[in-house]
Homo-oligomer: A and B are copies of this chain.
Amino acid sequence: MASRVTDQAVYDAALEVIAEQGYERATTRAIADAAGINEATLFRRFVSKENLLRQAVRGNFAGFSLDLDAPGDDVAADLLTIVGYYSSLYERRGGVVLTLMREAKFSPEVAAVLAEPESLLEKVDAVILHHQRRGALVVEPPRHTFFALIGPVMMRALARRVDRRATQAPADPEAVVRRFLDGHRSLER
């Protein structure tokens, strides 16, 4: 009675197609084909394209959380946790998350799906604020620090998928943090 093709297999196919073509251009037809099921079956089982994406994202990124509740005295360690997390997030499943982030600005559907794990960012803000108060980081809007920190990782991940001439290895979180802290230090008078 269960489906021959498992839900997870459909999620895999969907994320793969979406990573390659983007959510809007990924037709339900193409996803169904990639999963080896009929398009009608896809809708019978997953209701809508948006719902399929939501379930696929939940299933594949939910258990994957950031362990940062107790920021410590070691900035470098905490930043490394953050960078490491985002780095592996961007590397997962062919970089779907980056693809979705790009589309989120113009597609309310995608934005809605992505809004769920958004709360992570608030954890990150808290950690950055903590270290700013300790004097270990320059005081500026935490999102600013976050973007400056994550920038190289994201750029590298994006570049890798866009520009054949860019380095093809993912960024090394330790090097990123070190570079960030060194550059950062020079900003304090």
Contact B166 A144 (CB under 8 A): yes
Contact B147 A156 (CB under 8 A): yes
Contact A106 B175 (CB under 8 A): no
- Please report the C-alpha to C-alpha distance between residue A185 and residue B143 in the assembled complex, in whole angstroms: 26
Is A186 engaged at the interface, CB distance under 8 Å to the other chain? yes
Stoichiometry, as copies per complex, reads 2
Contact B155 A140 (CB under 8 A): no
Q: How far is the CB of A6 from chain B (nearest CB, A)?
A: 28
- Please report the C-alpha to C-alpha distance between residue A151 and residue B158 in the assembled complex, in whole angstroms: 10
**Given A141-B166, A141-B167, A183-B182, are A22 and B106 neighbors across the interface (CB < 8 Å)?**
yes
Contact B144 A148 (CB under 8 A): no
Is A48 engaged at the interface, CB distance under 8 Å to the other chain? no
Main SS at interface, chain A: helix
Is A134 engaged at the interface, CB distance under 8 Å to the other chain? no
**Given A25-B106, A106-B22, A155-B155, are A167 and B144 neighbors across the interface (CB < 8 Å)?**
yes
When distances are taken between beta carbons in the complex, the residues of chain B under 8 Å from A185 are 182
Say which size band chain A's interface belongs to.
35 or more
Contact A147 B166 (CB under 8 A): yes
For window 160-189 of A, CB contacts with B under 8 Å fall at: 161-163, 165-167, 175, 178-180, 182-187
- Please report the C-alpha to C-alpha distance between residue A163 and residue B48 in the assembled complex, in whole angstroms: 28
- Please report the C-alpha to C-alpha distance between residue A150 and residue B167 in the assembled complex, in whole angstroms: 15
Q: Which residues of A contact B (CB under 8 A)?
A: 21-22, 24-25, 102, 104-107, 125, 140-144, 147-148, 150-152, 154-156, 159, 161-163, 165-167, 175, 178-180, 182-187
